Amino acid sequence: TSFIFKEVCGYPLSIFFIVVNEFCERFSYYGMRAVLVLYFKYFLRWDDDLATSIYHTFVALCYLTPILGAIVADSWLGKFKTIIYLSIVYAIGQVAMAVSAIHDITDTDRDGTPDNMTFHVVLSMVGLFLIALGTGGIKPCVAAFGGDQFSDHQDRQRRTFFSVFYLCINGGSLLSTIITPILRAQDCGIHSQQKCYSLAFGVPAALMLVALVVFIVGSGMYYKAEPQGNIMLDVCKCIGFAIKNRYRHRSNQYPKRQHWMDWAEEKYDKLLIAQIKMVLKVLFLYIPLPMFWTLFDQKGSRWTLQATTMNGYFGSLVIQPDQMQTVNPILILTLVPIMDSVIYPLINKCGLNFTPLKRMTVGMLLAAIAFVCAALVQIEIDKTLPTFPSTSQSQLKLLNMGSETVTIKIFNDFFVLQASNEYFTFEAGQINISVGHPEVRNTISLAKGQRQTLLIPLTITDEWLMTDDITSKPQEGNNAIRFVNGMKTAVNVSIPAANFGLIEPFSYSNYSLIKNGKVTFTLWSGSQSCEYSTDFGFGSSYTFFIPSTLVFGPNCQESITAAEDIKPNSVHMALQIPQYFFITAGEVMFSVTGLEFSYSQAPSNMKAVLQAGWLFTVAIGNFIVLIVAELAKLPKQWAEYVLFASLLVAVCFIFSIMAYFYTYIDPAEIEAQFKKNVNEDDEDNKHKLQKTERSNGKINVTKLSYYNMA
């Protein structure tokens, strides 16, 4: 096809459009993916397991579709048209996701929650399916299309292009993983303000449209290779024929052949058979690889969920749980050059032959270490989590509304207290409590599986009140806050973001969810007011007690007491950095090396086949997450991390044995040798034919074309 060829600094100008397209596309993909698991959990209200399962099913689908994209491009549309059409599908999918996250569409009662969840679930699933089709479909085409823009003598430029291409992937991923979680954390809506997932999906949708436009703008400058026919189909047919032929000749009377693929020799070119053998050898080596991706891709699911239970304060900066994923591209951008220019040359200088397969083995071990780190962090988090009552237990806390301490006797234990900060756990459904002197006795019924607070009145003989307390950690790093009014007059409590309403005397408000940071509450009683300020972290719950002795005015701050029902997240998100460091170092050694290995060991016409095979290992890896997590169903998250780490170590051991027996090849040399042999055969055959011609007086055309094929 005709195109305008322009060169800048020795590089075809067309690759500029391809690199920018990749940057925008990866921004779109990773930006959407960064908030996906939180969207499932907090918008669609799925539990952790379902959210993780659907997330990995989606990622798996994104890596299954490259095979489809490669087939369509090679055998039908060509790479250019495939990229255009599938990018449109992709952009529609992103728009569907953005629309599915607008809660106002079905929020008819305007309470801030969607009323027809089926609509949102169906639309988002359709969106994700289209995105998987688009992103996976174009994946093997874009890089190869970029490679096609270079001529044979531009090897060095082509290599630089691939490095820049990888950096663009991570640049796009880095930016989007910073930006979309910020957008998600904003409040937006028509009737009520909710977390802005629609904007977090809308911006990636816009970037996908930009990617498409940029790619189309470069249209006139691309070299567009015509589809060559589907090599994958030829490979499958050849393998199928070899198996059938081997089966037909299974009896002992037929001599054995060196390799089972040699049974295709009757019908297929020897070069094609040799190329398939090379590919099969590498594909065999791929068998253990999905386990690496099983661990690697959990940084977007389990690790993000882990970050939601951690403290995200970095000085005055607040890091969102989903933003922690940015550590990966940041480290990629720094580790790739360090590995290439320092670590690998240093290892070489030490006389060690650090072959690609050895690097990949080390990469797997590093990923396993990352999961051990994740398990250790999880153990630290678990230590800080409250112990909620089991279904057969009840928990009770006491709050004395009087100004004097009272003596309380539960069964035979005595407590002298103003308020108890701890919950007492009981197996019994009823307890006897005696309070004060002279003793006032009461029998209290406790709710199983619940946390409650007993409010002991100012005058002990008055009615006692029980509150139902929160029994799970507040989600999304919010803090659950309520007030107990011990005054004889009603008090109104408000903050700019919430109104706790009028709290009657000796009564309590409902919980309100409040974000982290400094908050100032304003308390009103008639015309008198008082301000109470406090700092909140992430994931805590407090009951603030307004005592009967409160004097409205500037000094009221000291009079109000806070009972900590649930401690804030105290394990710092920075503790996730070691696990990110090890998984990224593992990725550089495993993924970057693996891509290069797949390319170098593939015959010239099957580079795309092996790339699709490599991407297929990512898909299988994501399915393994689903299977292992479903089968193991471990009660403790840290145990699941250890299980995955152990599985990877076991698989790594098998891989190292397979790698030991692998002999590296130079496909170009083998192919050249084959072509040389064929040419020599051709010469021989020509001589034979000329002799036959001379003796018979005519040429057998069928025979000649057969010789030329062989």
Ligand X SMILES: N[C@@H](CC(=O)O)C(=O)NCC(=O)O
CA distance 409 to 79: 80
Minimum CB distance to ligand X, residue 328 (Å): 5
**Continuous segment of H or E residues that includes residue 377:** helix 356-384
| Of residues 300 and 486, the one with the C-beta less far from ligand X | 300
Contact present, 189 and 115 (Cβ < 8 Å):
no
| Residue 192 burial class via C-beta count within 10 angstroms: exposed 0-12, middle 13-18, buried 19 and up | middle
Q: How far is the CB of 501 from ligand X (least distance, A)?
A: 45
Measured from the CB atom, is 297 or 565 closer to ligand X? 297
Asked if 397 contacts 452 with a C-beta cutoff of 8 angstroms, the reply is: yes
Backbone angles phi, psi at 500, to 5 degrees: -80, -10
Q: In whole angstroms, how close is the CB of 88 to ligand X at the nearest point?
A: 21
Whole-angstrom Cα distance, residue 485 to residue 559? Answer: 12
Residue 438, preceding bond cis, omega within 30 degrees?
A: yes
Residues 6+ apart with CB under 8 A from 358: 659
* Residue entry with tokens 């006032």: 440
Q: What residues make contact with ligand X under the rule CB under 6 A?
A: 26, 30, 169-170, 173, 328-329, 332, 587
Toward ligand X, which CB reaches closer, 166 or 542? 166
Task: Select 305 or 381, whichever has its Cβ closest to ligand X.
Answer: 305
Q: What minimum distance in Å lies between the beta carbon of 319 and ligand X? A: 16
Ranges assigned E (strand) in 321-439 = 394-400, 406-410, 413-417, 424-426, 430-435
Report DSSP letters for 284-297, one per residue: HHHTTTHHHHHHHG
Looking at the Cβ atoms of 175 and 566, the one nearer to ligand X is 175
Distance CA(178)–CA(159), nearest Å, equals 29
Query: Which one, 26 or 473, has the nearer CB to ligand X?
Result: 26
Which of 100/135 has CB closer to ligand X? 135
Q: What's the min distance (Å) between Cβ of 170 and ligand X?
A: 5
Question: At its nearest, how many Å lie between ligand X and the CB of residue 324?
Answer: 12
Smallest distance from ligand X to CB 617, Å: 13
* Cβ(391)–Cβ(408) below 8 Å: no
| Residue whose CB is nearest to ligand X in the complex, by number | 173
Closer residue to ligand X in complex, CB, 26/184: 26
Nearer to ligand X, 161 or 552 (CB): 161
Half-sphere exposure of residue 578: CA atoms within 13 angstroms, side-chain side: 12
Residue whose structure tokens are 């806070």: 562
Are 82 and 69 a contacting pair, CB within 8 Å?
A: yes
Minimum CB separation from ligand X for residue 93, in Å?
A: 17
- Give min distance, CB of 66 to ligand X, in A: 11
C-alpha 216/C-alpha 201 separation (Å) is: 23
483 vs 491: CA distance, rounded Å: 10
DSSP code for 572: B
* Least CB distance to ligand X at residue 585 (A): 12
In whole angstroms, give the CA distance from residue 594 to residue 624.
20
Nearest CB to ligand X, comparing residues 55 and 638: 55
Tracing tokens 């060690």 back to the chain, one arrives at: 352
Rg (CA), the chain: 33
- Pairing state of beta strands 394-400 and 451-456? parallel
Give the C-alpha separation, 307 to 381, whole Å: 10
Cβ nearer to ligand X, comparing 146 with 474? 146
Least distance in angstroms from the C-beta of 173 to ligand X:
3
Least Cβ distance, residue 596 to ligand X (angstroms)? 13
b/e map of 375-401 (b: 16 or more CB within 10 Å)?
A: bbbbbebeeeebebbeeebbbbbbbbb
Helix axes 607-632, 117-148, angle to 10 degrees: 150
User: In whole angstroms, how close is the CB of 169 to ligand X at the nearest point?
Assistant: 5
What is the C-alpha separation between 18 and 37, in angstroms, rounded?
30
Q: Smaller CB distance to ligand X: residue 337 or 526? A: 337
466 has which bridge partners?
454
430: helix, coil or strand?
strand
First to last CA, the chain: 31
CB of 620 to ligand X, least distance (A): 17
Nearer to ligand X, 328 or 452 (CB): 328
Nearer to ligand X, 143 or 278 (CB): 143
